[in-house]
């Protein structure tokens, strides 16, 4: 029976890692996989996480099951960081822990489907796993153009919302859009929030990079605006980037209900979906995050480390923008975009030439991880782009 299964396409980014590893050129540059890197090319464990893990080791006295909602101390401790200290609708919000932001997206979309959603409207391009999750859940997808000429394509978004049907939901990236780095301004978020409310369209918000763009508060402004305007919303959250916990799979899922009395029934659906998928989320990373957020010194240390990460990515972006143009590529918009990613408008042949002739490895879509650039390699990168796109 199993022999009837067709081979699935290999993950292109994982294939790229292998090609990069096999390349013997000393000056090779890896801009593929989406993890933060220091100026030395490392992805170290945050010192605040190490501190919390030490505490966890000393104090944890049981590893008995916690339940499908996971560590609710973690879920509650994150709330003021996501929603701010005096969020008006906070009593209409409840959450649960999930295995990474991916688990959060999965429960959000599955819950939307269980509530009657048949199609999800989403921008193109998007994180490829969004479309895979919709497909796996047998949901229709309607796409709109996310960006045009280096900024958000608001006309396309307005038209998509105007055309939405009664069983549609819309998926929006909260900040640091993957793969473009192109985010909505606060004014645009205000307009989007009002359009969603007027259309009664359910938002599924994906906040996977809070703190990697302009700051923890700045990066949550859009999510806060939407969730204080609409009656109902779903939010998937990842701690894997802003705490550097990638492989520990730390995420959460929050629901904004029209009335707080509805939350227990809604969240019981979240628990049922989790039971059927992963039963319970892994504990370790979320427990470390909770320990950080319950301790003022560790919280300060974590926020300082996040500031350093963000400052380094801003430096790289400033340097790209200062280059002006490289061949046919206008680098100036990268300066104001946000997060780990940017898209280079290069053809497949140009991307291949970057790899073959200059040892620059990037996704076939043209996406680069800006954190792969350092003071040591950025000039070479800009020259290489200029040479392949001249």
Residues designated catalytic: 127, 206, 208, 241
Binding mask 214-253 for ligand PLP (x = CB under 6 A): ------------------------x-x-----x----x--
Using rule CB under 6 A, residue 369 touches ligand PLP: no
User: CA angle, corner 129, sides to 128 and 131, nearest 5?
Assistant: 75
Using rule CB under 6 A, residue 213 touches ligand PLP: no
Q: Which two tokens stand for residue 38?
A: 């220091």
Using rule CB under 6 A, residue 305 touches ligand PLP: no
Distance of alpha carbon 264 from alpha carbon 36, whole angstroms: 37
Largest CA distance in the chain: 62
Q: Which stretch binds ligand PLP (CB under 6 A): 100-108, 262-270, 310-318, 368-376?
A: 100-108
CB of 32 to ligand PLP, least distance (A): 13
Q: Phi, psi (5° rounding) for residue 300? A: -60, -45
Q: Which stretch binds ligand PLP (CB under 6 A): 20-28, 59-67, 94-102, 292-300?
A: 94-102
Determine which residue in the list 100, 203, 285, 366 makes contact with ligand PLP, applying CB under 6 A.
100
Q: Phi, psi (5° rounding) for residue 361? A: -105, 120
CB of 178 to ligand PLP, least distance (A): 4
Using rule CB under 6 A, residue 270 touches ligand PLP: no
Using rule CB under 6 A, residue 127 touches ligand PLP: yes
Query: Toward ligand PLP, which CB reaches closer, 32 or 100?
Result: 100
What contacts 330, CB < 8 A, 6 or more positions away? 150, 324
Secondary structure (3-state) at 143 = strand
Cis ω on the peptide bond leading into residue 179 (within 30° of 0)? yes
Q: How many residues does the chain have?
A: 390
Determine which residue in the list 16, 31, 34, 83 makes contact with ligand PLP, applying CB under 6 A.
34
Distance of alpha carbon 178 from alpha carbon 284, whole angstroms: 27
Long-range contacts of 276-282 (CB under 8 A, 24+ apart): 277/103, 277/106, 277/107, 277/110, 278/99, 278/103, 279/68, 280/65, 280/66, 280/67, 280/68, 280/70, 281/70, 281/97, 281/98, 281/99, 281/103, 281/249, 281/251, 282/99, 282/248, 282/249
Residue nearest to ligand PLP (CB): 100
Using rule CB under 6 A, residue 101 touches ligand PLP: yes
Determine which residue in the list 30, 206, 219, 283 makes contact with ligand PLP, applying CB under 6 A.
206
Indicate if the alpha-carbon torsion angle 217, 366, 46, 62 is positive or negative: positive
Q: Which stretch binds ligand PLP (CB under 6 A): 98-106, 137-145, 306-314, 316-324?
A: 98-106
Determine which residue in the list 97, 102, 337, 369 makes contact with ligand PLP, applying CB under 6 A.
102
Looking only at residues 170 through 199 of this chain, which bind ligand PLP when binding is defined by CB under 6 A? Answer: 173, 178
Residues lying near ligand PLP in the complex (CB under 6 A): 34, 100-102, 105, 127, 173, 178, 206, 208, 238, 240, 246, 251
């Amino acid at each position: 029976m199993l022999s009837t299964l067709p081979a699935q396409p290999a993950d292109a980014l994982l294939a790229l890692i292998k090609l990069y590893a096999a390349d013997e050129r000393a000056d090779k540059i890896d801009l593929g996989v989406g993890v933060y890197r220091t100026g030395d090319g490392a992805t170290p464990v945050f010192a605040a996480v190490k501190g919390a893990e030490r505490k966890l080791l000393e104090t944890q006295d049981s590893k008995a099951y916690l339940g499908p909602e996971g560590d609710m101390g973690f879920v509650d401790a994150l709330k003021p960081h996501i929603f701010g200290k005096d969020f008006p609708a906070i009593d209409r919000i409840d959450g649960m822990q999930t295995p990474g932001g991916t688990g959060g997206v999965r429960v959000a979309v599955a819950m939307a489907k269980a509530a009657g959603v048949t199609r999800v409207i989403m921008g193109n391009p998007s994180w490829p796993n969004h479309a895979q999750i919709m497909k796996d859940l047998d949901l229709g997808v309607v796409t709109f153009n996310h960006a045009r000429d280096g900024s958000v394509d608001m006309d396309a978004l307005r038209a998509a919302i105007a055309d939405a049907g009664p069983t549609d939901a819309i998926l929006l990236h909260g900040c640091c859009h993957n793969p473009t780095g192109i985010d909505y301004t606060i004014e645009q978020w205000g307009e989007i929030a009002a359009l969603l409310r007027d259309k009664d369209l359910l938002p599924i918000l994906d906040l996977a990079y809070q703190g990697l763009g302009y700051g923890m508060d700045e990066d949550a402004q859009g999510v806060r605006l939407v969730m204080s305007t609409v009656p109902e919303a779903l939010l998937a959250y990842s701690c894997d980037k802003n705490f550097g916990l990638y492989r520990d799979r730390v995420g959460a899922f929050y629901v904004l209900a029209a009335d707080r009395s509805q939350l227990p029934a809604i969240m019981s659906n979240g628990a049922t979906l989790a039971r059927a998928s992963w039963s319970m989320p892994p504990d370790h990373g979320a427990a470390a995050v909770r320990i950080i957020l319950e301790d003022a010194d560790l919280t300060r240390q974590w926020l300082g480390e996040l500031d350093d990460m963000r400052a380094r990515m801003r430096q790289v972006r400033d340097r790209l923008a200062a280059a002006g143009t490289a061949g046919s590529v206008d680098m100036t918009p990268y300066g104001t975009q946000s997060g780990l990613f940017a898209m280079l408008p290069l053809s497949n042949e140009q991307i291949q030439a970057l790899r073959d002739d200059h040892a620059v490895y990037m996704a076939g879509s043209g996406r680069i991880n800006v954190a792969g650039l350092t003071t040591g390699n950025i000039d070479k990168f800009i020259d290489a782009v200029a040479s392949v796109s001249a």
